[in-house]
Amino acid sequence: MKEPLPYCDFPLPCTFRGTVETGKQLGRKLGFPTANLILPGDAVTPPYGVYVCTLTVNGEDFPAVTNVGRHPTTPDGPATVESHILTPGNHDLYGKQVTATLYAFLRPEQRFSGIEELIAAIDKNKRQALEWFAENPGALKHRSRETGL
């Protein structure tokens, strides 16, 4: 039986728009490159945590898993919206305008005991997001012809 997703009382979907900034590059080093949007200090955000998301680039939607928050396992820097695209490819997005649309809450942001535990959690979140997209294919309005997702 599939594990139900946790409840989030913030209204979803929720959208963030911005220019992809260079981050700490930790996601890339761990095998999960992310498109980072820096949140202004006064931004209204959903609860910090991990979400199922579409990342729209040049009118094309990509399935993604996104962390909103301060990344407490490796704390450093401002709050961000960090999206990892779930489809293969070289997604060089630095300096590009993107839209991140959050659809479903996967888990609250948490501090892990180490990098290995963080990687395991990201892998689980990727699987959950792919299951969500399989059940909600309409979320990808402008799908890539290359990936078929």
Tokens 């009382």 map to which residue? 9
Residue 24: CB partners within 8 Å, gap ≥ 6?
A: 74, 76, 77
Cβ proximity of 26 and 44 under 8 Å: no
User: Which residues are known catalytic residues?
Assistant: 82
CB 80 within 8 A of CB 71: yes
Phi-psi region of 25 (alpha: psi -120 to 50; beta: other; left: phi over 0): left
Residue 83, H or E segment: strand 80-85
